[in-house]
Structures are given as structure tokens and as C-alpha cells.
């Protein structure tokens, strides 16, 4: 299993990394991608990726931080290029659910991240909430450059998913697919091609059933994997192989 999106720099995981990693490996996790959200978090991620060979990292600014953590395409390229274990850009994108940052700031930041990802030929990890039209329209502007797109913690509509598939996007399923009120989302994931699927925890957030109410961690990824297998009507081993292979292809890893 591969956890394609978590935040090891966040508590309670950061202060308990040794035990978090032990439990992850015991549950069968082979790789973990720890995602950057701020300039400060990147400093922690650089240290975290040194701890264990299974941990990789990203560089990017979350849309909530777009007002204050302003970065240029050149800055993003420099930081991603600084370490071979920094394998993607993000998370970036648009979040119009909250008013943590101005729309125009989010859009400008998102475009800088996309352009840096195209320049480096690495994936961009996209956050999109209450912004389906705007997210697609911006990504579609860059279609001719064939950006490598991963829709993180995808909760969008089937229509949105189908439009993103025209951009050859990948989609990551989080613990939300295990929630009782997520039947529409499960229907959408049922229609997404197997070769475009990844899994994630987004830990320490969004713990899956039956772990809801706890702080999430990478070892809980198995519950999302098991539910995705049910959704796709295949055995768990097969969906494990498929999602792991997709991760390795997308991020150019063995």
C-alpha cells in the first residue's frame, strides 16, 4: 500500500514519527508522501524525508495560505530541485468554501504551481473545494503542455471527474469514501478507470471508518483500500497492486 497524501509534519504525528512509521510498516505501507502546505512546513518535510527511505515529500502552498505565503514559479522550481526525494508540487489549487485567502491570490498561486510542475515534468497535487469550474478551466488552459495532475482527496461530481479525465488526471481516494453519507462519491469512483486511481489518508485528518473520531495516520490507509476494492468489485490485493503501480508511474518511482 502507498499513502499518496499525508501531513507528517502535523501533530500528533510529527512528535511521534517513530511509532507512526512502525505502525505504517506493520500494516503494509511501502511508501508515504508527506505533503507541503506552507513555507514553514517545507523545512520540516526536508528533515522528515531523511528519517526513512519510504518517506517522500513535496513543495507547495495550500490555497488557504495564498495571501501570505506568496511564491513565484522560480521559487517553486528551486525548492523542488533541491532534493531528489521532493517528487511533486503541491498541494495547490482552489478552495472557495472558506475565505482564508482571496480568490485572485489563489488563482495566481495555482498557476505558478502548474507552470513549475510543467517546467520540471513532475506531478501537481491539486486541492479543489467549491471550485469545480474554476479548477477545470485553469487546468484546461495548460492542456497542450500535458501537466501531470493528481486530484487529491477527490470529492467532486461525476461531471467534474469526467472533464478531468480529458486532461489525463489521476484521482486519489481518501477515507471520505468510507463515510455513510458518501454514496454519490462512491458512485463516481466506481466510474473512474482503475489506471487513474490512488489512495491516501490526508492524515491527521479524515480518519476512515471504523477509525472515525481518532487522529488519522498512514497505517489506516488499509480501510480506504478495502472500501475501494468493494466499490470497484475487485479483490483487495488487485486494487493494492493497481493503486501502487499508478503511484509509481505518476511519480516516476520503482
Span 176-199, pLDDT tens digits: 999 999 999 999 999 999 999 999
- All residue ranges of the chain with pLDDT < 50 are none
pLDDT score for 100: 82
Q: Computed over its alpha carbons, how large is the radius of gyration of the chain? A: 17
pLDDT score for 200: 98
Domains of the chain: which residue ranges? 2-250
Angle between helix axes 132-141 and 103-120 (nearest 10 degrees) is 40
In degrees to the nearest 10, what's the CA dihedral of 121, 123, 129, 130?
40
Chain centre to alpha carbon of residue 94: 14
Fold classification of 2-250 is TIM Barrel (3.20.20)
pLDDT score for 218: 98
The set of residues, in sequence order, having a beta carbon less than 8 Å from that of 251 and lying 6+ positions away, is 33, 56, 87, 88, 122, 123
The answer to whether the bond into 91 is cis (omega within 30° of 0) is: yes
Whole-Å CA distances, 141 to 88, 137, 244: 20, 6, 29
DSSP conformation letters of the chain: -EEEEE-TTSTTTGGGHHHHHHHHHHHT--EEEEPP-SHHHHHHHHHHTTT-TTEEEEE---GGGTTTS---HHHHHHHHTT-TTEEEEEEEEEE-SS-SS-HHHHHHHHHHHHHHHHHHT--EEEEEES-HHHHHHHHHHTGGG---EEETT----HHHHHHHHTTT-EEEE-GGGGSTT-HHHHHHHHHS-GGGEEE---TTS-PPTTSTTSPP-GGGHHHHHHHHHHHHTS-HHHHHHHHHHHHHHHTT--
**pTM here?**
0.96
How far is residue 177's CA from residue 190's CA, in Å, rounded to a whole number? Answer: 11
pLDDT score for 187: 97
75-108 pLDDT tens trace? 999 999 999 999 999 999 999 988 788 999 999 9
pLDDT score for 99: 76
Whole-Å CA distances, 159 to 12, 177, 196: 36, 18, 16
Amino acid at each position: 500500500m502507498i499513502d499518496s497524501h499525508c501531513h507528517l509534519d502535523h501533530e500528533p504525528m510529527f512528535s511521534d514519527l517513530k511509532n507512526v512509521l512502525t505502525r505504517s510498516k506493520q500494516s503494509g505501507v511501502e511508501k508515504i508522501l508527506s505533503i507541503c502546505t506552507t513555507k514553514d512546513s517545507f523545512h520540516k518535510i526536508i528533515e522528515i524525508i531523511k528519517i526513512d527511505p519510504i518517506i517522500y515529500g513535496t513543495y507547495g502552498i495550500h490555497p488557504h495560505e495564498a495571501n501570505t505565503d506568496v511564491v513565484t514559479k522560480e521559487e517553486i522550481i528551486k525548492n523542488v530541485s533541491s532534493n531528489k526525494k521532493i517528487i511533486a508540487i503541491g498541494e495547490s489549487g482552489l478552495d472557495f468554501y472558506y475565505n482564508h485567502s482571496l480568490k485572485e491570490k489563489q488563482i495566481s498561486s495555482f498557476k505558478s504551481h502548474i507552470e513549475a510542475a510543467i517546467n520540471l515534468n513532475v506531478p501537481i497535487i491539486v486541492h479543489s473545494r467549491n471550485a469545480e469550474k474554476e479548477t477545470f478551466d485553469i487546468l484546461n488552459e495548460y492542456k497542450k503542455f500535458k501537466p501531470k495532475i493528481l486530484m487529491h482527496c477527490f470529492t467532486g461530481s461525476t461531471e467534474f471527474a469526467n472533464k478531468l479525465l480529458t486532461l489525463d488526471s489521476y484521482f486519489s481516494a481518501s477515507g471520505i469514501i468510507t463515510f455513510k453519507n458518501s454514496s454519490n462519491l462512491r458512485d463516481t469512483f466506481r466510474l473512474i478507470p482503475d489506471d487513474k486511481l490512488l489512495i491516501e489518508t490526508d492524515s491527521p485528518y479524515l480518519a476512515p471508518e471504523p477509525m472515525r473520531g481518532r487522529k488519522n495516520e498512514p497505517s489506516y490507509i488499509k480501510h480506504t483500500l478495502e472500501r475501494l476494492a468493494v466499490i470497484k468489485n475487485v479483490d483487495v490485493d488487485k486494487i493494492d497492486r493497481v493503486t501502487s503501480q499508478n503511484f509509481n508511474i505518476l511519480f516516476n518511482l520503482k
